[in-house]
Structure 1
Amino acid sequence: MASYRKIVFVVASLILILVQSSYGQGDTVNLQLRWKHQFQFAGYYAAQKKGFYENENLKVKIQEYTPGHSSVDIVLSGEAQYGVFGSDVLLSYMQGKPVKVLACIFQHSPYSILSLEGRGVSKPTDLSGKKIMAAEMGSIILKSLLQNEGIPQDSIAVVPLNIDRFFKDSTIAALIVYKAFEPFKYEKEGYKPIQIDPSDYGVDFYGDVLFTSESETRDYPERTEKFKRASLRGWEYALEHPDEIIDYILKLPGVKERGIDRQMLRKEFLVMEKLIRPNLVEIGHMNKGRWEFILKRFSQLGITTVHKSTEDLLYFPENKVFMYAKVSVYLIGLLLVVALFFFIRSVFIKHNLVREQQKVMEMDTKSRFNEESLRLILNNAGILLWDWNRLSNSFSFLGYNDDIDSYTSIYQFKNALHTEDQDKLDMFVDLLPENFREEIRIKIGETFQWKLLTIKARKFDDENSPLIYTGMLIDISEIKQKEEHLDELSKELETTNSELEKFAYITSHNIRAPIVNLESLMDFYDVDCIDKEANNDIVNKIHISVQRLKDTLEDLILVTSRK
């Protein structure tokens, strides 16, 4: 037994040495930011400060924005392995550049249109005939807003972004800014900014995304997965401990020199929290369908004429076991050298472990419905589930298609309703009740169909006003058709009942009259009467009354025997 323990100890020691040597002293990688240090990149600072990168055996250098060089160019040149960019990374992909998106940090666009008092801009239509400053993604946001609002693209002059010129030149009506930070900065400097949020008008793309190169995911899949995992863990920590990370940011080079203080970073955090939505969506979540929608919008704007699947843009590793492939090879080789017994024993244990894991996975699969199963159930039931974010005016759908899930705002949804039912939705938008239920008609294809609309508020702000509504559209077209059929039957029954009442009245009169005559004639009839002629006359009249009664009864039998 003692020799057995020694062998196990030696094998374990060799394994530990081998594992450590396989990892070396840790990989050194660079992360290229899209701007200067601020809370916009808090998750990466948290991953570095709290040792999440170090735990993954990574040494990460975080690089600030370099003027004149985009994050995409720096990553593809090899000067950095990972970078932060916007949803316009899709354009680089369409141009054939080998980029891979690892995670979408901002679920909503961080841009807004900023103007100043006295420059005549408070709503999108005010932009017509004006000069607007915008750069790169800001121009795309502006074009998309103009298209949504039906404002001609050529009615606006887009000029290069120059902050100093904007505040000096009053002929420039507005500029596109990062809404989580710049408005507070300019407000602190004494200006009175006015903002137009494009998301209020149905323009809402992904914001900051974490990306890398295709070669990085291919040649260093383990490192890619470790970097992504540590970064997302950092974002979770930063959003749960914002004040701690703000302290760290204030100590970074150049932050205080830019006039940034704790209050500004705190305000930036509060806006970013709404863009990331950690309470509703898993941090880093990305949806292929939404990327396809963004590509479609870019094509509509004429920004790109190339259309190909976004599948190769997104990084979804199918099997994470490759992270330990190299170590497994070393372990198996070492076990074969030490003893065949240990190899067989390890294979046996691993085999049992895999079997148990498969059983657990099978039980887990049987115990829950995935999204496709739920979608199938909703399709068969003719039910559509949807969420409406009142602040961002964004819609998300789950259920049957019928062209309804193409609506991106409540205004588009309203325009699809029958004109007689649009007032019902207006009443809901005006009152914003916690619960709402109405029968509506909505255009599906070329016809209107009846739906039961039920809405319930499920998230509220600090003033207990509804922020997010969840609703259902239930197909009641068949029910409505049956109701109309029942209405027609009811009208037919009413008509039939009326005719039966008339018939009953006439019949009762025809029966009663001969009976009354018979009673009267019987009273007049006198057996002892000497006037035989008078009695005969009475008898004849009795026969006439009996014949009339008989005729009436035969008519009644004839009528009631008909179907």
Structure 2
Amino acid sequence: MIKNFRIISIVLILLALGSGAAWGETESTSNREVVLQLRWNHQFQFAGYYAAKELGYYEDEGLDVEIRSGSGGEGQTQFAPDEVIKGRAEFGVGSSDIILANDEREELMLVSSFFQKSPVRYYMLDTEEYSNLANLADKKVGIREEDLLSIEFKSMLRVEGVNLNRIPLIDKYSVFELEDLTTGKYDLIPGYTGGVIDYYAYKEGVKLKEIRAIDYGIDFYGDSLFTTKKLATEDPELVEKFRRASIKGWKYALENPEKTIDIILENYDNPEHKSKSDFREYNEFQSEKIRDLMLYPVVEIGNINPYRWDEMGSTLYQFGIIKNEFNAEKTIFNYEEIARGQEKDSLNQFIQFIMVGFLFSVVIFFINLSSKNTDLEIEIAEREEAEKRLKKERDRYEILFNSSIIGIVLTRRTGEIVQCNKKWLEMTGYDEGELVGRSMKTIISPEENEVPNELINKLIDGELTEYEVEQKYTKKDGGYLWGNLFMVAMDDSETDEKIYLNMVADITTKKMMEESVDRAEARFRDIVNEVAAEINVPIDFETKKIDDKTKMLSKLEEINLELEKMFKNELDENRKKEVLIIHQAKLAAMGEMIGNIAHQWRQPLNSLALVLSNLEDAFVHAELEQEYFDTCIERSRRLINQMSNTIDDFRYFFNPASEKEKFSPCESINSILYLLDEKFRFNDISVMFSDCDRNLSAYGYNNHYSQALFNVISNSADALADVDSPDKRIEIRVYEKGSDLVCEIEDNAGGIDEDIIDKVFEMYFTTKPGKKGTGLGLYITKTIIENNLNGKVNCENTKNGLMTKIRIPKESEDSDDE
């Protein structure tokens, strides 16, 4: 318990140290991708950002920057604050719109202010009469709804006390051009100093009047760089890198305007200009204006005056443009302060983490301590229950094992005795402790055991799976026991080794009777020989004595002849009985074989009948085509061949004549599916078997393997034929598992009652109604797989039906040994 507590504490401390150090890891193996959202089309207005990107200043800071135009077409603009807040860009260029976006939720943070003066201007022709803002109420003013250019205009009107309602607003998507003034469409339109209207007026010699907000005490910043508070607080290093590189780019652009214009023309387009030369002249004109807006070199590039931003916010709040007061201190990015705060927060979090971790460890310790008893009680109860179940299973096994009427002995490959039942102990006179661990060879009589020794060696080497022979054993008291031994090799589930089951029936009485007959015959022969010898001894020649001896010899000869006749009759009678028993066994085996052949023929005959029926229907309805006719003939020939092969297969069912070899289970299954195709189509059964690896192989008798699978698949088809369902399926899967090849055949016919599922492999047991089933199919399958192919077969219910699993070796046991 104490050890677990210490381990938890150490882990929590290490985690805390790791989390505390994680913030300081700012290096990255690849450049960080970020997006900068501009306010309008690509032009010198954003020259510093282009220079920083194309000259590699951003890349030097580990940044991969995408600069997006603010033009959306048809006068529409991408609202930079909206793009940044919604996560489509990390940085944006804005001005008073930053304050507007922060009015409802303070999500944006100012990084740098590059334009120290507002570039917004309101233009009219020089000939237009104008003395003050009140004159505009009677003029055609082009001020758009929800336009950033209108913010400073509205602020000027409020300063002068002009009623805003007297100046109607136009559609927010309207586009202004110099022609709007020269044609008289509008008397006043908004624009930027150095913008398109200012440039074309200069180029065409049109004189304009300018109205500036600064002249009415409205001193707003121009273009400023901003980001989200979330990014600034979570990754201040990234924001600082972008700010540094952008300032460096602006310094280069202001000191090298011509080279910067070359960069802009080479990499960016502006749809407002029809030619590259026009675009160049426009940028050259704008570059002078931008230098004046940035007050370079008098004011440091990117300088932010919190007081001026507070004044901007105060003006917008005073005139009702924003609902909440603006606080510049909370909005301006301060890298050093945020970094110090993060270090402090990280330290506090580390301390809190340690404290929470310690308290958590203590709580866990006591919770663990208090719950151990409950867990221990549950574990004890579960173990007791498991022991009870195990005891019941063992008791059941012991009852079956020890109540057998024959002797049963389990041995290992070396002959070591693992277990023996009570019957065997009674038969040999030993105690169990005297036999377990002892070699079986020590209680086998060395006499007359040449043949049994040869058979057991073949069984161990895998040449046989079982054998039956008469065996002579030595009992504890020195006597002998004759037994009829049936020996079979099995897999030990606990050790994955072979274990050998010795089942011995006591035939000592039979052997004694045979030996008694032999001894009686020998004794009789000895008596006769002794009498004959006695007759040959010297005698006197008195007549009476000679006659007595002659009569005695005649009588003995008659007895001898009679005994020989009786013995011969008894021997002939015994031989007749033995021949009769063998004949009866042959008839029984023949009857079983005929029944098996009849069962195996039933499925191909049904399929053949279906093929002929379909062929007849096609002929009657004039639908018989040559291709279909050839297919039916080929399928019929294969079914007939299958029936012929069945006879040969059953001839060598218990003693295969062919050699074991490698074969393709996929090809075997495809052949079976081909033979059963008519049955599948007749009963609307879908068979899913398409992903079989044709490189898979198994070892054994291909024809027997096919016969076993044919029985299982045909049984599934018969079960589905009685199911009323639109979705009847048989799924076949073949795969390797260890040294075995496994074939799973699963249907959705509803499965088998759990009470009888263990009986499906017994002879003559069938679940089919009436006389539809013989009860031999799965019995034959089990015999083929387990006796002839050294495999295993079992079945189990699934959710919708029954799954039969067949496992056979991939290689021969000889190849494994090698």
TM-score (norm 2): 0.35
Identity of aligned residues (%): 33
Equivalent position to 2:114, from 105, 109, 116:
105
Equivalent position to 2:217, from 182, 202, 211:
202
The alignment status of 1:232 with 2:247, answered yes or no, reads yes
Matches within 5 A, 1:235-314: 235-255=250-270, 258-259=273-274, 260-314=278-332
* Aligned counterpart, 2:368: none
Does the C-alpha gap of structure 1 residues 256 and 308 become closer, same or farther in structure 2, counting only changes over 3 Å? closer
Q: Distance in 1 between matches of 2:272 and 2:97?
A: 30
SS at match of 2:253: helix
- What letter matches 1:245 in structure 2? T
1:163 Cα deviation (Å)?
1.7
SS at match of 1:83: strand
The alignment status of 1:46 with 2:51, answered yes or no, reads yes
Matched positions, count: 309
Q: Distance in 2 between matches of 1:21 and 1:154?
A: 54
1:256 Cα deviation (Å)?
7.5
Equivalent position to 1:35, from 37, 40, 54:
40
1:117-140 deviations in Å (ceiling 9; x for gaps): 555447544323223223422211
Matches within 5 A, 1:414-433: none
Structure 2 residues without counterparts, runs of 5 or longer: 1-23, 348-818
Q: Distance in 2 between matches of 1:256 and 1:158?
A: 26
Residues 312-321 or 201-210, more deviating: 312-321
1:173-206 deviations in Å (ceiling 9; x for gaps): 1111011222113443675433223323322200
Q: Distance in 2 between matches of 1:321 and 1:307?
A: 27
- What letter matches 1:288 in structure 2? P
Residues 284-293 or 304-313, more deviating: 304-313
The alignment status of 1:63 with 2:68, answered yes or no, reads yes
1:507-561 deviations in Å (ceiling 9; x for gaps): xxxxxxxxxxxxxxxxxxxxxxxxxxxxxxxxxxxxxxxxxxxxxxxxxxxxxxx
Q: Distance in 1 between matches of 2:325 and 2:25?
A: 46
SS at match of 1:23: coil
The alignment status of 1:188 with 2:203, answered yes or no, reads yes
Q: Distance in 2 between matches of 1:323 and 1:27?
A: 24
Q: Distance in 2 between matches of 1:257 and 1:293?
A: 35
1:172 Cα deviation (Å)?
2.2
TM-score (norm 1): 0.50
The alignment status of 1:148 with 2:159, answered yes or no, reads yes
- What letter matches 1:76 in structure 2? I
Q: Distance in 2 between matches of 1:241 and 1:124?
A: 40
Segments of 4+ moved more than 4 angstroms: 189-192, 319-325
The alignment status of 1:173 with 2:191, answered yes or no, reads no
- What letter matches 1:127 in structure 2? L
SS at match of 2:308: helix
- What letter matches 1:218 in structure 2? T
Does the C-alpha gap of structure 1 residues 21 and 110 become closer, same or farther in structure 2, counting only changes over 3 Å? closer
- What letter matches 1:207 in structure 2? G
1:22-41 deviations in Å (ceiling 9; x for gaps): 41111011111110110100
The alignment status of 1:315 with 2:347, answered yes or no, reads no
Structure 1 residues without counterparts, runs of 5 or longer: 1-18, 330-563
SS at match of 2:138: coil
Q: Which has the larger radius of gyration?
A: 2
Does the C-alpha gap of structure 1 residues 123 and 247 become closer, same or farther in structure 2, counting only changes over 3 Å? farther
- What letter matches 1:267 in structure 2? F
1:153 Cα deviation (Å)?
2.7
1:220 Cα deviation (Å)?
1.9
Q: Is contact 2:125–2:182 with CA below 8 Å preserved after alignment?
A: no
1:457-509 deviations in Å (ceiling 9; x for gaps): xxxxxxxxxxxxxxxxxxxxxxxxxxxxxxxxxxxxxxxxxxxxxxxxxxxxx
1:265-293 deviations in Å (ceiling 9; x for gaps): 12211111121112222111112221111
Coordinate RMSD, CA, aligned:
3.0
SS at match of 1:158: coil
1:252 Cα deviation (Å)?
3.1
* Aligned counterpart, 1:76: 85
Q: Is contact 1:131–1:158 with CA below 8 Å preserved after alignment?
A: no
Q: Distance in 2 between matches of 1:235 and 1:224?
A: 16
Residues 299-308 or 118-127, more deviating: 118-127
Does the C-alpha gap of structure 1 residues 104 and 130 become closer, same or farther in structure 2, counting only changes over 3 Å? same
Q: Is contact 2:181–2:188 with CA below 8 Å preserved after alignment?
A: no
1:305-360 deviations in Å (ceiling 9; x for gaps): 212533222111234867998xxx9xxxxxxxxxxxxxxxxxxxxxxxxxxxxxxx
SS at match of 1:289: helix
1:403-444 deviations in Å (ceiling 9; x for gaps): xxxxxxxxxxxxxxxxxxxxxxxxxxxxxxxxxxxxxxxxxx
Q: Which structure has more RCO (C-alpha within 8 Å, separation ≥ 6)? A: 1
Q: Is contact 2:314–2:326 with CA below 8 Å preserved after alignment?
A: no
The alignment status of 1:129 with 2:138, answered yes or no, reads yes
Does the C-alpha gap of structure 1 residues 256 and 156 become closer, same or farther in structure 2, counting only changes over 3 Å? closer
Matches within 5 A, 1:149-548: 149-160=160-171, 161-163=174-176, 166=180, 170-182=184-196, 183-188=198-203, 191-255=206-270, 258-259=273-274, 260-319=278-337
Q: Distance in 2 between matches of 1:235 and 1:321?
A: 25
Q: Distance in 1 between matches of 2:150 and 2:248?
A: 33
SS at match of 2:267: coil
1:102-124 deviations in Å (ceiling 9; x for gaps): 01111111011112355544754
